[in-house]
Structure 1
Amino acid sequence: MTAVASSSDNLEKYRQIAILIHRIKYIEILYSVWKVYLQSGLGQLKSDFSRNELRPHVWVKSVQSMVKMAVRSGLEKHDACLTYVKNRLVQLDKSKQECHADLQVQLNHLSHYSTIIQPAIDTFIEENLLSLRKKIQHKIQLVYFDYEEEIIKHEYLKQNPNDAQIKLAEELCTAKQQEILSKYTSELLDKQLIHYNDSYNLERLPIARVPLFDSIGNANVQQQFYSHYKQIIEQTKEDMLNLYTQSARTQKIRYQNGYNDKMKKIREEQYLLPDEQKLTTKMIEIIEQHARLIEKRLKSIHYFKLEKLSIQS
């Protein structure tokens, strides 16, 4: 009886240890993204586009949204964001230290912490946190993309472009975004439709049963109503899916090669402009850098969505 009680007691202690280790790792993952938020806001992120004299302070939109009330009260946006992010990091660090202290207490209550059980606990926790870790890694990657985009924009403005040249750069980058986005939207929709059709089952949907039909006493008549009803639903579903697919493909064709065609046209038109209105070689180089960055960002988002979809399958 004592052995059973002791075994049960140890099992509960291991459970508490697992919970605390999970919390510590969870906090560490959150801390990593808030640390990057701080570095971005202070202009401390390392980037291939960085220059010693060009380190913009970029606060992510989610942080800016969280400090709106403070900004409305008169606090400078940068100061409000800085205070908010620093406080968040302090809170996370405090929570982590508390968990570490609680974990040490639990470990001290065990006569020995099994070298067999520990790896099993660690493996279980890592598997449980894998989805969150990937999500946070993706968030961090997007912060870097935003930061690099801001550097490129600053670099372009340093070339002293006129209004027409600024507008031209914006049009080219919009064309690149539309081209790549339409491509990935079409690909993702195809994958989503495959996933939807594989998991689709009308009988599991709330609309599968109709109280009015169920009230019909004649079983044959009731079955006829249901058969016709389900045919209409299936046909409507098929028509809607075809419409979505066709719309995405039409948009993809519309924007396909839009950036390259527009860039080619602009290069041809440049010969007709006075020298002071032409895009300089440096301006074109920066625009092309921006276009490549847009493509990298959208590609990252696309593959993250595909991975989420594969996990759901």
Structure 2
Amino acid sequence: MMNISSIVEDNIRDDLQHTSILIYKMQILSMYHLLWTSYWQSGLGQLIKQTSEQQQQQNYVVYSMNISFWPKEIKQNIDTSTSSMDLVCYHRQELERQLRQIQIEWNNKVNHFSGYNLKVEQLLKDYIIQNLFEFQKEIEHKIKLVTYDYQIEAIKQEFNRQNSTEYQKKIMKQLCLKRDEKETTEQELKFLQERINHFNVLDQTFEHSAIIDSIENIEIRQQLQQQYRKIIQQAKTDFYMLSLQTAEEQRTRARLNYDNEVNKMYSIHHNAFDFTILPLK
């Protein structure tokens, strides 16, 4: 017959597991809500606010940031019967509803959880956030790309108000594409570096080989395990280095292409009497 202490331990383990799952869900929903809020702010024209320092700069075209611009992620998911605003509002409200529901469930759980305190809660949160690192960085990456697309659209609209020629508009379109490539490659490189740093911190062990573990001779088994560990670590290092090298080369090419387009743009306006500098760099 199972004793009382074993029953208590099982209950505590079940409560901890349930609480952890609820915290995990709240973290996921909160991150998704941040992403959809960025979509919503972009559509409302409230994603970016210019600083007073920018507005006070001389030879600086203060282009409007109050533009309604829906990211391509939203445009690709609407049909004739649904507007972008309806889609975004629905997802934000649904995420908020689910988050409130889980928060209520979490409150009920911890209020009846004997021994649960702020220290236990923080330990659970730290562990969950650590394991959500890659997902969190992916969401942050998407939000930054939404911001860059918004900035580019604001610059394009201001440029079109400058009575530009068709050739100038063509150059500007090419410039925006190159800037998009530049910002994307820089963010991808940063994202990759953060992932590698994160994995290096966590990677304190190595995968075991069933064949090596089955060797009875302890000395031979330990030698093979050391060799196996070195091979695994070297393979990971080579892969990380190759990935970084490829990402850095892509960023370098994107920067060069963007700078060439900027120089081309400046050369077109070089002799203009009322030339004002658009913030292209």
TM-score over 0.5 (shorter chain): yes
DSSP 3-state at the match of 1:66 = coil
Q: Identity over aligned residues, as a percent?
A: 23
Runs of 4 or more consecutive aligned structure 1 residues displaced over 4 Å after TM superposition:
49-54, 171-178, 251-257
Q: Which of 2, 7, 13 is the aligned partner of 1:11?
A: 13
Gapped regions of structure 1 (runs ≥ 5): 192-240, 272-277, 293-313
DSSP 3-state at the match of 1:112 = coil
Q: Offset at 1:97?
A: 1.2
Q: Which of 153, 167, 171 is the aligned partner of 2:170?
A: 167
Equivalent residue for 1:37? 39
Which residue identity does 1:259 align to in structure 2?
E
Q: TM-score, normalised by structure 1?
A: 0.57
Residues 1:158 and 1:7: Cα distance change in structure 2 (over 3 Å): same
Mapped pair 1:64 → 2:58:
no
Gapped regions of structure 2 (runs ≥ 5): 56-61, 194-241
Q: Which of 258, 281, 305 is the aligned partner of 2:275?
A: 281
DSSP 3-state at the match of 2:115 = coil
DSSP 3-state at the match of 1:113 = coil
Which residue identity does 1:281 align to in structure 2?
F
The 1-side partners of 2:172 and 2:63 are apart by 25
Q: Offset at 1:122?
A: 1.3
Q: Which of 109, 112, 116 is the aligned partner of 1:109?
A: 112
Provide the aligned C-alpha RMSD in A: 3.7
Residues 1-313 of structure 1 mapped to structure 2, 5 A cutoff = 1-48=3-50, 55-67=66-78, 69=79, 71=80, 73=81, 80-173=83-176, 252=253, 258-259=260-261, 262-263=264-265, 266=268, 278=272, 280-282=274-276, 285-286=277-278, 289=279, 291-292=280-281
The 2-side partners of 1:107 and 1:141 are apart by 35
Q: Offset at 1:115?
A: 4.2
The 1-side partners of 2:11 and 2:178 are apart by 64
User: Quick check: 1:165–1:279 contact (8 Å CA) kept in 2?
Assistant: no
Q: Deviations over 1:126-155 (max 9, x none)?
A: 102221111111111111111111111111
Which structure: larger Rg? 1
Residues 1:81 and 1:101: Cα distance change in structure 2 (over 3 Å): same
Which residue identity does 1:63 align to in structure 2?
I
Q: Offset at 1:174?
A: 5.5
Residues 1:256 and 1:117: Cα distance change in structure 2 (over 3 Å): closer
Q: Offset at 1:54?
A: 5.2
Normalized per residue, which structure has more helix? 1
Kindly tell me the number of residue pairs found equivalent between the two proteins.
Answer: 213
The 2-side partners of 1:10 and 1:17 are apart by 10
